[in-house]
Structure 1
Amino acid sequence: MTDLVIETAGLRKEYRTRRGTRVAVQSLDLAVPAGGVHGFLGPNGSGKTTTIRMLLGLARATRGTMRLFGEDVPRRLPQVIDRVGAVVESPKFSPNFTGRQNLQLLARTRGITGDRIDAALETVSLTGRDRDRYRTYSLGMKQRLAIAATLLKDPALLILDEPTNGLDPAGIREIRDTVRSLGASGVTVLLSSHILAEVQQVCTSATIIGHGRMLASGRVEDLLGASTAYRVRVADAEAAVRRLREEGLTVHPDNGVLRVETDRPASHVSRVLGEAQLWLEELTPLRPDLEEVFLELTSGEALGSGGGRA
């Protein structure tokens, strides 16, 4: 029994066009561990949606292998599909029905009890708004109802493809909170997005792709790496600059705030200043974010951020 929920090896997808063959996914090795939120990150057109469609049996791979819960897909997809929930495209709900009524219709077709409806609505924080008509919902609420629909069958894996597209900051925060709570509850969430800074706030692990190939994968904290700089604030900034530079540290002052670059731990910076009777008001590690990591990984490549979803 594998502890990986999603596995791909050498996955490739080609499309025939009038101009020849277009490669959407090339030699992609993807490994998503059980539990938590795994970010599937890259610009629009990088192959995220195509990969998800292949995993769900909606597109055929040109070559390579795929597994969900250790089962080969698409051959064994019927055996595991009930454990998978996915929001890949905009769901079709009746605008004149309430949120609850829309879920009740889905539940009846699947033989699901009302208890699951209540649990799904509570998970996505729509309890209290479930009897409002769907047409009155904000975009964020509509997206949360779509997630609730996938939760009716209590999936072990939830795949979300660009769930915050078109949402305002309030809607993005709502989806972020929902995804975070799902990951904490034990559901494995594969979160596809091109908004790297946003995803960083909820993901425990991530895979970054570009031009259909993997650029990096692992725990988010490992991808970000150790801090090599600190934000430092003391009462006497000039004296602090002199003392830190005497110690051989690189210091960049900016209106009384110091950026100290060093591979030494924070305790070293604190000790150097303390021995000089310069007491810290702030000592904050400065770490790169996922967007900076991505830009570094793709430096020198012509990775576009526009175009359609692929």
Structure 2
Amino acid sequence: MSELVIETTGLRKEFRSRRGGLRVAVQGLDLAVPAGGVHGFLGPNGSGKTTTIRMLLGLARPTAGTMRLFGRPVPAQLPHVIGRVGAVVESPKFSPNFSGRRNLQLLAGAIGATPARVDHAIETVRLTGRDKDRYRSYSLGMKQRLAIAATLLKQPDLMILDEPTNGLDPAGIREIRETIRDLGSSGVTVLLSSHILAEVQQVCTSATIIGAGRLLASGTVDELLGSGSAYRLVAPDTAAAAEVLDRAGFVPSHVDGAVHVEADDPGELTRVLGEAGIWLTELAPLRADLESYFLELTEGEQLGEPTAAQRAGGAA
């Protein structure tokens, strides 16, 4: 079993409202983030993601439960592990009149990081060529990448990113997405907090889904969605393709100009059709998307009704 970089058990956070009432932001959360890759921390706004991150970083104290970073209990031993953690939770403050590189050099000097680390951080977040431009001329996406570069100066083993694409245009989102992929493949464990389901599905190897401060599901993306054995195929004559598959014992269906069919081996589909003189122009696996899965998990939650996961006996 992989080492757990982040582990929480029964984590709970309560807040007192101004009227004296009690609000529970996180309730009984069990979170397990394995070492390596990008782990999505997924949930709608207000689901408790940021509160959980703040507790892990020692910025808020839990009401109940336990937390561990790299196997060490936090916040008690946070000083022993915080040097291994980089986090972008809020927009950092940089000097607008200094270049991106100069801002990083000042930060590096403050923590004793070498000039080589500045170079490496700039290269990692793909700011080479723009690093000598003034910070105030940067787009929102570039500013966010500079924030990530600043945390890389300490060479963290764990990077925590809280909604890093908020407010970005499509180009900025793509830039951050590529940076996150690079970090995950470089050996850094990334905890990516997001409410954008497609974003998590595109960059994460595993994910935890929460709603109203509770764990709904956790596992690899393939485990959550299922590898599936259904395929979407397109041919010049989809009706003829469906007829051939039907005669061969498959159960095809017509969906939006394509044929959907289940098969243990996609090669068998191409063989059967090829022998009938039908050549495919498209063959792709069908699998659930995180949006559909998430909506199923949270069905009825806002009404206080049991979710689909609860009706089935609880989330994974």
Task: Give 1:207-222 correspondences, 5 Å limit.
Answer: 207-222=208-223
SS class of match (2:12): strand
Sequence identity (%) = 72
Offset, 1:221: 1.4
The one-letter amino acid of 2:269's match is V
Question: Residue type of the partner of 1:154?
Answer: Q
The corresponding residue for 1:140 is 141
SS at match of 1:153: coil
Query: Does the CA contact (< 8 Å) of 2:197 and 2:291 recur in 1?
Result: yes
- In the other structure, the counterpart of 1:254 is 256
What's the CA shift for 1:189? 0.6
Distance 1:271 1:19 in 2: 69
Distance 2:2 2:209 in 1: 23
Aligned to 1:282: 282
Structure 2 spans left out of the alignment, 5+ residues = 305-316
User: What residue in structure 2 maps to residue 308 of structure 1?
Assistant: none
1:229 offset after TM fit, Å?
A: 2.8
Q: Which stretch has the larger CA shift, 262-271 or 191-200?
A: 262-271
Once the two structures are TM-superposed, the CA of residue 95 in structure 1 deviates from its matched residue by 0.8
Q: Which residues of 2 match residues 40-79 of structure 1 at below 5 A?
A: 40-79=41-80
1:292 aligns with 2:278: no
**TM-score, normalised via structure 2 length:** 0.90
Question: Displacement of 1:207 after TM fit?
Answer: 0.6
Residue 183 of structure 1, CA deviation: 0.7
RMSD: 1.9
Q: Which piece of structure 1 moves more, 106-115 or 133-142?
A: 106-115
Post-superposition offset of 1:270: 2.9
Gap change, CA 1:242 and 1:186, over 3 Å in 2: same
Match of residue 81 from structure 1: 82
Call closer, same or farther: CA 1:70–1:243 in 2, change over 3 Å.
same
1:107-186 equivalences in 2 (<5 Å):
107-186=108-187
Query: Is the 1:39–1:191 Cα contact (8 Å) retained in structure 2?
Result: yes
Residues 135-165 of structure 1: per-residue CA shift (max 9 Å, x gap): 0000000000000110111111110000000
CA drift at 1:272? 3.8
2:203 is equivalent to residue 202 of structure 1: yes
The 8 Å contact of residues 244 and 251 in structure 1, kept in 2 or not, is answered as no
Unaligned runs of 5+ in 1: 305-310
CA drift of 1:84 comes to: 0.4
- Provide the rounded CA distance (Å) in 2 between the counterparts of 1:12 and 1:23: 8
Once the two structures are overlaid, the 10-residue window that deviates more, 125-134 or 7-16, is 125-134
Partner AA of 1:21 in structure 2: L
**How many angstroms apart in 2 are the aligned matches of 1:121 and 1:298?**
40
Give the Cα–Cα distance (whole angstroms) in 1 for the partners of residues 250 and 106 of structure 2. Answer: 69
Q: Contact 2:231–2:263 at 8 Å: present in 1 too? A: no
Which residue matches 1:90? Answer: 91
Amino acid aligned to 1:63: A
Deviation at 1:263, TM superposition (A): 5.6
Q: Give 1:248 shift.
A: 4.9
Counterpart of 1:38 in structure 2 is 39
**Whole-angstrom CA distance in 1 between matches of 2:79 and 2:143:** 28
The answer on whether the counterparts of 1:245 and 1:251 sit within 8 Å (CA) in structure 2 is: no
Deviation digits for residues 290-309 of structure 1, max 9, x if unmatched? 112111211222289xxxxx
